[in-house]
Amino acid sequence: MNRLSRQIASYWMQFRSVVRNEFRTIFTDGGVMLVLIFALLIYATVYSLAYGSQVLRNVPIGVVDQSRTHASRTLIETFNAGPNTYVAYEPSDMEEAKELFYDRKIYGVVYIPADYEKNLLGGLQANVAVYCDASYFLMYRQVFQELVTTIGQTGAMVEFQRLIAKGANIPQAQAVTQPVIYQSHNLFNPYLGYGTFVMPAIIIVIIQQTMLIGIGMIGGTWREHGLYRKLRPAGRGRMSTLPIVMGRATVYAAIYAVTCAYVLGVHYRLFHFPMNGSAGAVAVIMALYVAACIAMGIAVSTLFRYRENSLLLLLWTSIPVLMLSGISFPKEGIPEWLFNLGKLLPSSHGVNGFIRIQTMGASLGEVFAEVKWLVILTVVYGGLACIGTHQVIRREEHEQARKGK
C-alpha cells in the first residue's frame, strides 16, 4: 500500500471514529437532543398553531352615534356586515368611549356627528371620525381598512342614489361614483394570512439557531472536559482536522435531513403553507443552507470554554437574526452597515432564497445570489472550523503535557 492509500485509509478511519463519537455524544445528552432534534419540531408546531387562524377577525369597536338617524343606523349596520369588525358597544359620548378604549374592550371608535344625515342627504360633505389603536399594527390594519372601506362604500351608494334620482341612468351613475374599477390579486398569500407570511422565515431561522446552540453545547462540553485532543488519532505526527470537521458535519447533516424533511414534507401540508417550488430546487437550497449553518456552528463552537456559554451568547441573538433576515422589516429600510453585517449569517440568504423558491416558485437560477453566498459562507466557516479545531486540540495537548511535567 502506497503512502496516499495509507493516508486515505487513516483519514477514513478517523472520519468513522468521529461520526460514531458524535452520535454517541448527541444521543447520550438530553439537553443536546432537545435542542438539535426536537426544538425545530416543537417550535415549528407551536408557532404554526399560534398563527393557525392566519387572519385577525371580529375586532370589537365602539360607535358614538350623535346623529341617531336612519342614515347613521344604516352605517352602523355595515360595520357588522364584514368579517373583520363588529360593534361591541355604542357609548353615549366620547368620554365613555375613551374608557372602553383604554380598558382594551374596544380597539377602534367611530364618531358620527349630529349633522351626519343632514349633510349626507343635502349634498354636503359628511364627516365621520375614526380612531384606531395603532400600537398593534395587525389590529390597526383590520379596523382601519374595514371602517374606511365601509364608509367609502356608503358614501358612494348615497351619491349613486342621488344621481339616479336626478335622472341619470345606471351606467352614468356608476361611472361617476366609481370611475376606476380595480381587480386585486394577492399573489403567493391569497388569504393575506400572517402565518403564511412569517412561518417560512421563522422555520429557517430556527434551523440556524438550534444548530448553533446545540453544536455550541457539545463544543463547550468538550472544551470543559478536555476531550478535543482525543479526536486526534494516536501516533499521528501531522494532524489534519478536515476528517474531524467532515465527520461532525455529516452527523448534523443526517439529523437535520430527517427533521427538515418532516417539516417541509408533512408540517407544511398540515398547516397549508404555500409549496410552489420544485422539490429539487427546495432540496438544493436547503442542503446549501444547512451546510452553511453546520460550518458556522462548528466554527463558533470552538470558541466556547463551557457548555453554558452557547446558551448565554446565542439564545439572545434570535430576534436580531430574524430582523436582519429582512422578514420583520424590509432590508431596504435597514442601515447599510447593519445590512452588510447580516450577510455574514446564513439565515439572511437562506430566508430570502427559501421563500422565493418555496413560496414564490422561483428557480435556482433566479436565486443565484443567495446560492453563491451560501456556498461562500460554507467554505469560509468550514475553513474557520478546521483552524479552530486545530487550535483547540493543540492547546489541550500543551496543557496535558504541562500537567505531565
DSSP string computed for 212-260 = HHHHHHHHHHHHHHT-GGGGSPTT-SS---HHHHHHHHHHHHHHHHHHH
Place of cell 428557480: 363
- Whole-angstrom distance, CA of residue 35 vs CA of residue 212: 10
Distance of CA 343 to the CA centre of its chain: 17
Indicate the CATH number for domain 59-177. Answer: 3.40.1710.10
pLDDT digits (tens, 9 = 90+) for 257-268: 999 999 999 999
* From-to residues of CATH 3.40.1710.10 in the chain: 59-177
- The crossing angle, in degrees rounded to 10, of helices 279-301 and 346-354 is 170
Is the pLDDT higher at 147 or at 344? 344
Task: With H, G, I as helix, E, B as strand and everything else as coil, classify residue 46.
Answer: helix
**What is the greatest pairwise CA distance in the chain?**
109
The type of residue at 380 is V
In percent, how much of the chain has pLDDT > 90?
40
Indicate the pTM of the whole model: 0.85
Residue 47 has pLDDT above 80, yes or no: yes
pLDDT digits (tens, 9 = 90+) for 229-252: 777 665 555 567 888 899 999 999
Residue 166 has pLDDT above 80, yes or no: no
pLDDT of residue 261: 94
Confidence class for position 206, pLDDT limits 50, 70, 90: very high
pLDDT of residue 341: 87
Distances (CA, A) of 81 to 86, 87, 90, 238: 8, 10, 16, 78
Q: Is the dihedral of CA 158, 163, 164, 169 positive or negative?
A: negative
pLDDT of residue 12: 84
pLDDT of residue 1: 55
* φ, ψ dihedrals at 202, nearest 5°: -65, -40
pLDDT digits (tens, 9 = 90+) for 297-318: 999 999 888 888 887 777 778 7
